[in-house]
Structure 1
């Protein structure tokens, strides 16, 4: 048996022991319109990262609005989440812009059912202690952490393209997403694209060793932050789970809106209490995220296609894909209804 199959069986066994249950398939439920009540006993298994999703929904009071019982499973990075989907162990996950492309390239059908966009970049480039890099052009000759199948992949490729560099001009060091913070702290790599709260924590904890980052202005033209909610086809074929997923889409959008409109409560609940950061660091993170909005999926196809083409041109996927196949546009009415229901911001 191959290593890949062994890992897949291990994931499946782990989730069978931890969560139990078998995910069945039925006729596809149709999103949109008036949702039927979620039947009693309906369960969803949802992937989380850094406990951000569960903290968000609970803090916003949206957890109880979903009629299903939700179990969260914590992961680090999109590839591990994809393996769990392949093992039949997940119904839903919030990931970045690249895992759906990775799933698509692997022949997996994991439709995107909702999205959240920020006006700020996905990540920020941290620089190893003692080294200073002021421009993207100075990436030439540097060792850069690289994780295929995560949002860090097109982020690095876009930075190289913007700087007029190719992957031959740098040394891409293959790592898992969870290894990035350790790799940059130890000097295993010169540059690593970190997300929050890891970026702020790195600069804070290693300030005495002259930890630094590429200036924010150099990130301005890089891909902005995109969070996709994508689902298991098996769950979407189950009428009860499909109804629960539509409710989850609504609650996810409402919870995200709550966090934007109540930054003090959100910072305290997640960045301070859950992640152990100082309040001022949490507020700096929230401010750096820029504006947040919840576009219709149909509007996201062109930008997703650009990422698909970028990854293909770099040789990381074997054929050019149609990004439109990654979205379930039937959820656009659900998204629109959720956005229309958002309360106005307080004056």
Structure 2
């Protein structure tokens, strides 16, 4: 009988454990890394179904010339709002979409895997606070006791919640009125609510059309206290697990960043291509929208984790999430490599 000493057995077990650990580490690197084991060449015939709203994304990609640099076939599908896009992801009908900061949180809370692959920040906030005719609100603190339009599951939700937090208020100090985003302009014009968050051109039109009735807004200096705009590009887990589609998504991320930079540098061309020719707006209205959008930046996904976590916490503390979520689970950090190459 061969007798193995205790120390020899220990040494053998340690070597096996180390070998197993190295194999697991290798697998982890391949799963989360960018260069290792990830296809970057787009296969012929690869198609991506990309969500669009009011043809904004496809017009941007084509007008900027970024669409011509894509190797894959892009099929744009028009939607109205983030909730409809989320339902399409759930049905397996979408590969990629641009959304505000809130839909990824809603998807996460619902157990959906739609990782964020790119982000665009802005120098301006998403919305402005319009105040009903005849009422004046000069500071965020004066929101106390007011009725406020509230769009749960949309970007307007954290916009309002952050305003309350900055003012030292809670939802108990105001009356939140649940409304669809499309109903916000009518609600503030009719006085159904005291305050509503509007974007352009609805905000400027409201102030102009109802000036004789005393339409007003919370001053921009107060608006500037709020977090700046944040737009995400997120993709279905199924598409990211497909090597051909994952490569096409990497290519789309780079092109999307390039297209957005073009819109910032070529304001008149962008206004004409989209707001005038597609939306039938006057050039002046189009320029107001672009000015409200601010100057874009494209930070690493890693750097946005604390900001997204703060947003999650605000929504959770307001009672609108069933549990506190971990923001790290909402990002595919492999795409930081693509983002860094565009900067």
- TM-score normalised by the shorter chain: which range applies? 0.7 to 0.9
- Establish whether residue 67 from structure 1 lines up as the match of residue 71 from structure 2: yes
* Pairwise CA RMSD: 2.2
Instruction: Judge conservation of contact 1:125–1:193 (CA < 8 Å) in 2.
Output: yes
Higher alpha-carbon deviation: 265-274 or 219-228: 265-274
Distance 1:73 1:273 in 2: 19
Asked if structure 2 preserves the Cα contact closer than 8 Å seen for 1:28 and 1:236, the reply is: no
Deviations 1:15-51 (A, max 9, x none): xxxxxxxxxxxx9897558964423332222112233
The aligned residue for residue 12 of structure 1 is: none
Match of 1:252 in 2: 256
Superposed CA deviations along residues 173-223 of structure 1, whole A, max 9, x for unmatched, are: 112223323322333222211223333343344445443321111111211
Q: 2:157 aligns with which of 147, 153, 158?
A: 153
Alignment partners' CA distance in 2, 1:227 and 1:32: 26
- Of 176, 181, 190, the residue aligned with 2:180 is 176
- Which of residues 111, 121, 126 in structure 2 aligns to 1:122? 126
Q: TM-score, normalised by structure 2?
A: 0.85
Unaligned runs of 5+ in 2: 1-29
Q: How many residues align?
A: 313
Of residues 52-61 and 196-205 in structure 1, the stretch that sits farther from structure 2 once superposed is 196-205
Rounded to whole Å, the distance in 2 between the matches of 1:193 and 1:32 is: 43
What residue number does 2:110 align with? 106
Closer, same or farther: CA 72–165 of 1 in aligned 2, 3 Å? same
Distance 1:32 1:203 in 2: 52
Q: Residues of 2 paired with 1:310 and 1:125: CA distance?
A: 19
CA shift, 1:70, in A, is: 1.9
TM, length-normalised to structure 1: 0.84
Structure 1 residue runs of 5 or longer lacking an equivalent are 1-26, 340-347
Question: What CA deviation, in whole Å up to 9, does each residue of 1:37-84 have, x standing for no partner?
Answer: 423332222112233212211110112222222222222322221111
2: distance between equivalents of 1:276 and 1:128? 27
Rounded Cα–Cα distance in structure 2 between residues aligned with 1:32 and 1:274: 40
Matched, 1:285 2:280: no
Larger radius of gyration: 2
In 1, distance between residues paired with 2:216 and 2:274?
A: 24
Cα 1:217–1:293 change in 2 (3 A) is same
In 2, distance between residues paired with 1:41 and 1:209?
Answer: 58
| Conserved? CA contact 1:201–1:277, under 8 Å | no
SS in 2 for 1:317: coil
Which residue in the other structure is 1:79 paired with?
A: 83
1:314 counterpart = 2:311? no
> Against the structure 1 CA distance between its residues 265 and 118, is the aligned structure 2 distance closer, same or farther, given a 3 Å change threshold?
same
- Out of 34-43 and 304-313, give the one that drifted further: 34-43
The equivalent of 1:52 in structure 2 is 56
